Amino acid sequence: MIAFEHVGKRYGGRFEALAHLNFRVARGEMVFLTGHSGAGKSSLLRLIMRLEKPSRGRVVVAGHDIAQLHASQVPFYRRQIGVVFQDHQLLFDRSIFHNVSLPLEIQGVEPREAARRVRAALDKVGLLHREKALPIELSGGEQQRVGIARAVVNKPSLLLADEPTGNLDPQLSADIMALFEDFNRIGTTVMIASHDLALIARLRHRILRLSDGRLVADEGAV
């Protein structure tokens, strides 16, 4: 599903965020990406989302070298990746329902069908009863679940998450991770950047460890 081939990323010609990255993630796999802050976890996710291009090497997603995508094709590529952000990236002037339906609106899904799918996604994250609320009325953990519902509402084949449990207490974090495992169980490839080592060690999935932009360990690979 994802292949990094000799990938390097420099910012401003000097700072080397990523260097000599080589790894593959199979379709349907669930992978954690870990390392100290500044190790390059977010940069790596940004490369997969095609927010940036690698300075060296190739990033191949589903058989395509995504650096080759034309700018006009990038939005269509992004629609197939669900992304959960650390800071949720919700729109605060819209209801939970509208936030979750945003990807469907962008794709032009027919409203009745969209409403059905939004409610299904909200039900999955246990927030169906809050669909009319505004994000500001929700707790941090609930906001994160809205972010997850938005990421999965159009059934992406790849789900990325950047520190999804960043500011949550252990119990909530475990709940969120369980949600990701559920999506992985139905075939979605999941990649989660997290520095909550205790939590991810318990979950027994493959762990990619980054340090100073290099891959220093690949544990639990199948």
Shortest CB 98 distance to other proteins, Å = 11
DSSP single-letter state for residue 129: G
Amino acid at 26: A
CA-wise closest residue to 155 among 123, 120, 181: 120
Shortest CB 27 distance to other proteins, Å = 9
Nearer to other proteins, 173 or 184 (CB): 184
Shortest CB 4 distance to other proteins, Å = 17
Asked if residue 111 binds other proteins (CB under 8 A), the reply is yes
Amino acid at 148: I
Residues from 150 through 179 that contact other proteins (CB under 8 A): 150, 157-158
Q: In this chain, which stretch among 33-41, 68-76, 117-125, 194-202 interacts with other proteins, using CB under 8 A?
A: 68-76
Q: What angle do CA 11, 12, 16 make, to 5 degrees?
A: 40
Asked if residue 38 binds other proteins (CB under 8 A), the reply is no
Asked if residue 83 binds other proteins (CB under 8 A), the reply is yes
Going by DSSP bridges, is the β-strand pair 64-65/189-193 parallel, antiparallel, or unpaired?
Answer: unpaired
Asked if residue 221 binds other proteins (CB under 8 A), the reply is no
Shortest CB 108 distance to other proteins, Å = 2
Backbone torsions φ then ψ of 160, nearest 5 degrees: -110, 145
Asked if residue 98 binds other proteins (CB under 8 A), the reply is no
Q: Which residues of 164-199 are buried (b: 16+ CB within 10 A; e: fewer)?
A: bbbebeeebbbbbbebbeebbeeebbbbbbbbbeeb
> For binding to other proteins (CB under 8 A), which residues are involved?
49, 51, 61-65, 68-70, 72-73, 75-80, 83, 85, 89-91, 93, 102-103, 105-111, 150, 157-158
